[in-house]
Amino acid sequence: MSIYKPFTTSDVVISPFEVNKSFSFSGGNVFEYPHVSIDRYIGRNITSSLYISGSNPTGYITTQDEKLVYESIKQLYYSNYIKSDNGSPVSTASFNNDGTITGPRYTPNYYNYLTTTLPSDRFFPTGSNNIVGIISIPSNLYGEYIKLNSVTVTTSNYTISDDGNGNMLSGSVKVGDIIYEHGVIILTNDGIEPEGDQGYGYVSYGTATYGIDDTTFINEFISTSNISFSFESTTTIYESQYKCTLRQNEFNFSQNPTIISGSSTDSTLYDFATGSYFTPYVTTVGMYNNANELIAVAKLAQPLPISQVTDTSILVNLDL
């Protein structure tokens, strides 16, 4: 015997939730195709000559031009922050109570993919022949975005990690930025200390130097084969919840063949199945399409008795 009961609109709820997956890679060769295809680039501010295609190649998996990489990163992520060689906070303006507007600009000129709404400092080197390092993660690995505070990159001499606010830190020193939704890590070695710290960037006192030299630091992360990299991806899964409601007067007869005695031509119900207190048990819920074709089966952890005095609801969760 087949029994079908349609769902109403209120019986179906679709809820999104985010899931994460951890990735960890070691050794330069695993970054390359066909392993994981995490590419690394050098971007260079070349001002001494006109752009010539193919003259300054960079990248291990796909070949790009150092100048074009530099200009692309500058335009996408640092457009609002370049007022001097040392970078600057983004230019904004204040709307006063008297209706006037004060400040260098009414609004930022570009959308630079900030992680938070907190005031942000981003440094981008603008001197001739200055470099930036790029670690580019393909979207099939990071999903919708990289999970905040999950990135660690380690070489023979350095370890950097993100702080969950879009900053890449070496210890307590900011050395670059991460764009979580694009899977892009940008190494600028700005040496900006977190608020409250009184450290040094890369500076010289007499014959001694303090901090990390940008060229040595960036080139190590981009060119070394002795590197390990870990992060977590983020993907949204949509869970559909179906509420299967059995009224107290519905589904009150069991389809289990063990309640029948005798042969198939002379079947008789056992006495216990004919009493007024007999209650069937639910073990399986079948879900059908409009053509009455079975498309999903939900199994209960244990048999569930159907109540004779109140409605019984079974929630079926389906993740897609």
Buried b (16+ CB within 10 A) or exposed e, 190-207: bbbeeeeeeeebbeeeee
The pLDDT of residue 104 is above 90: no
Q: What is the mean pLDDT of residues 119-145?
A: 90
pLDDT of residue 85: 45
pLDDT at 117 over 70: yes
Mean pLDDT for the stretch of residues 82-103: 62
Q: Which residues, in sequence order, are CB contacts of 203 under 8 Å at separation 6+?
A: 209, 210, 211
211: left (phi over 0), alpha (psi -120 to 50) or beta: left
Half-sphere exposure of 41 (CA within 13 A, CB side): 27
Q: Is the pLDDT of residue 178 over 50?
A: yes
pLDDT in tens, 44-73: 999 887 777 778 999 988 999 999 999 999
Provide mean pLDDT across the span 258-284.
75
Q: How confident is the model at residue 191 (pLDDT cuts 50, 70, 90)?
A: low
Given a cut of 60, whether residue 202 has pLDDT beyond it is no
Cα 43 from Cα 130, distance rounded (Å): 8
**Stated pTM of the model:** 0.72
Residue with more model confidence, 198 or 95 = 95
Q: What integer is the mean pLDDT of 194-216?
A: 49
Residues 142-153: tens digit of each pLDDT: 999 999 999 999
Query: 46 near 129, Cβ under 8 Å?
Result: yes
- Asked whether residue 118 carries a pLDDT value surpassing 80, the answer given is no
Q: State residue 238 phi and psi, 5-degree precision.
A: -105, 120
